[in-house]
Structure 1
Amino acid sequence: MTEGGDWQRDVLRELADTPAAPASTGPVEASPPMPPAPVDPRLPSPPPQPASPTRPVPRGTRDPRLPLPTPESVPTVDPRLAHALGRPQHGDSLTQRTGRSLRRLTTSAGQDVAEQTYLATELQQPVTTGRIIAVTSIRGGVGKSTVSALLGRTFNHYRHDPVLTLEADAALGTLPVRMGAESVRWSCADLAQILTPAMQLTDVTGYLVPVADGGWLLPAGQGRVGAPMDVRTYRTVTLALRRYFAVTVVDCESLPGDVARTAMDTAHARVVVAPMTAEGVNGTRQVLNWLAQLPHAALASTAVALSASSPDTTLDEKTAATHLREAGVAVVSLPYDRHLAQGGPIHTVMLGQATRDAAVRLAAEAMHRAVRVR
Structure 2
Amino acid sequence: MAGESDWQHALLRDLGTDAPSRPVLEQSAGATGPESAAPAPPPDHEPAAPAAPPVPRQSHSANLPGPVPQSVPAIDPRLLIALGGPQHGDSLTRRAGAGLRRLASSSGQEVAEQTRLAREVQQPVTTGRVIAVTSIRGGVGKSTVSALLGRTFNHYRHDPVLALEADAALGSLPTRLGAEAVRWSCADIAQILTPAMQLTDVTGYLVPVADGGWLLPASHGRVGAPLDMRTYRTVTLALRRYFGVTVVDCESLPGEVARTAMDTAHVRIVVAPMTAEGVHATRQVLDWLAQLPHAALETTVVVLNTQSADASLDPEVAAGHLRLPGVPVVQLPYDRHLAQGGPIHTDRLSRGAREAAVQLAAEAMRRAVSVR
Question: Which TM-score tier does this pair reach, normalised by the shorter chain?
Answer: 0.7 to 0.9
- Encode CA deviations 1:208-267: one digit per residue, 9 max, x unaligned: 000001100000001222210000000000000000000000000000000000000000
For structure 1, which runs of at least 5 residues remain unmatched after alignment?
Answer: 15-62
- The residue aligned with 1:148 is 146
- The residue aligned with 2:28 is none
Structure 2 residue identity aligned to 1:130: G
Range with bigger deviation, 4-13 or 78-87: 4-13
For structure 2, which runs of at least 5 residues remain unmatched after alignment?
Answer: 15-60
**1:304 aligned residue (288, 302, 305):** 302
- Counterpart CA distance in 2 for 1:90 and 1:173 is 24
Contact residue 190 and residue 235 of structure 2 kept, 8 A: yes
- Encode CA deviations 1:296-322: one digit per residue, 9 max, x unaligned: 121100000000111111111111111
- The residue aligned with 2:69 is 71
- Encode CA deviations 1:278-298: one digit per residue, 9 max, x unaligned: 111111111111111111121
- Encode CA deviations 1:333-369: one digit per residue, 9 max, x unaligned: 0011100001110001101000110111011101111
1:253 to 2:251 alignment: yes
Cα distance, 1:230–1:125 mapped onto 2, change above 3 Å: same
- Counterpart CA distance in 2 for 1:151 and 1:68 is 34
Measure how far apart 1:70 and its partner are: 2.3
Measure how far apart 1:65 and its partner are: 6.9
Cα distance, 1:245–1:105 mapped onto 2, change above 3 Å: same
Moved segments of 4+, more than 3 Å: 1-5, 8-14, 63-69
Range with bigger deviation, 149-158 or 289-298: 289-298
Contact residue 170 and residue 227 of structure 1 kept, 8 A: yes
- Counterpart CA distance in 2 for 1:65 and 1:242 is 21
Measure how far apart 1:11 and its partner are: 6.6
- The residue aligned with 2:212 is 214
Measure how far apart 1:145 and its partner are: 0.3
- The residue aligned with 2:313 is 315
- The residue aligned with 2:4 is 4
Structure 2 residue identity aligned to 1:147: V
**1:281 aligned residue (273, 279, 282):** 279
- The residue aligned with 2:96 is 98
TM-score normalised by structure 1 residue count: 0.83
**1:270 aligned residue (268, 271, 284):** 268
In percent, how many aligned pairs have the same letter?
A: 77
Question: What SS class does the counterpart of residue 213 from structure 1 fall into?
Answer: coil
Measured on the aligned residues, the alpha-carbon RMSD in Å equals 2.0
Contact residue 165 and residue 249 of structure 1 kept, 8 A: yes
Structure 1 residue identity aligned to 2:117: L
Structure 2 residue identity aligned to 1:79: P
- Counterpart CA distance in 2 for 1:295 and 1:3 is 31
- The residue aligned with 1:36 is none
- The residue aligned with 2:352 is 354
- The residue aligned with 1:340 is 338
TM-score normalised by structure 2 residue count: 0.84
Q: How many residues align?
A: 326
Q: Which has the larger radius of gyration?
A: 1
